[in-house]
Every structure is written in structure tokens, then in C-alpha cells.
Amino acid sequence: MELLPDLKYKLNRHALGNGLAKAGLKESLHKFIQNVICEDEKLTIVFNHNMAKFEFEHSKEQFLEGARKYYKAHAKEFESLNFIPKRIEAKVEFKEKDAFKFDPLSAPTPRNEPKKKATPSFENRAKDQRIYAGFERIREVIKTQKGEQND
């Protein structure tokens, strides 16, 4: 049972750190927060994309302004958890690569079987003699292929 108070303490600390991070960041960057690491005097925001870290560092003054407002609103909670972040850092951890990687040379893609077979009984409506002759050659090819398949 000693584990539960410690767990609740850590969860509350994490919730405050996450709230502090989200209060300072633009809403469009919230989806890039992978985790927050809450140490006694340091908050580390872990992003899952370089762009989010770049945006954080680029607009750090705006972040600090929003974070200060959040801290003032929740100051008693921060002090009760002995979590007073004086330094806020950011780092990037990329997600694990998927186990499946597409390698076009590893295995050929199986061909889909045609749903309809071509038959030589199509109507040739071509007006131009060359095109008409081309379709007739196609008809002959289909006939010879059908004969080979039946053998």
C-alpha cells in the first residue's frame, strides 16, 4: 500500500507538468508532446518531432508568459508537491520505427487475377482502317491464347 501514495504524488506532479507545458504552448503543438519529465526544479518537455522543438525554442518568451499564468493559478499545488520548475527544457525522442518497412526488392507483389477474361467476340466499331485492323489483330491474339490455355 506504500506504492499508492507515491504513485498519486507522481501522477499529480505529471499532471501539473503537462498542464504547465500545454498552457505555454500553442494549441497546434499539443499533439507533438510525447511526455513531460518533472524533476524538482526542471521541467523537460519531450516532443516527438523536430519541428515542435524548433517552434518551442523560437517562441520561448511566449511560452514562458503562458506558463507563468498557469503557475500563478496553481501555485499552491506546485508547492505542495515540491515541484517548482525554474528551468524548462525541450528534447525530441522519435517514435520507434514500425516493424514493417517496405522493401520493394524483398518480395514481389502478387499479381491480381483478372476478374473478366477477354473474349474474341467483341464488336469492332472502328471507322479508320488501320485501327480496325489493329483490333482484328487483338482478336486473333485472344483466339490463339484461348487455344493455348485449353490445351
The C-alpha atoms of residue 35 and residue 51 are separated, in whole angstroms, by: 16
Phi/psi at 66 (5° precision): -65, -40
Q: How many CA atoms lie within 13 A of 46 on its CB side?
A: 9
Amino acid letter, 31 = K
Q: What percent of the chain has pLDDT over 70?
A: 84
How high is the pLDDT of residue 103? 58
Mean pLDDT computed over every residue of the chain: 84
Q: Domain boundaries in the chain?
A: 9-92, 116-151
Instruction: Render pLDDT for 97-114 as a digit per residue (tens, 0 to 9).
Output: 544 555 566 666 677 787
Residue 49: pLDDT over 50: yes
How high is the pLDDT of residue 6? 76
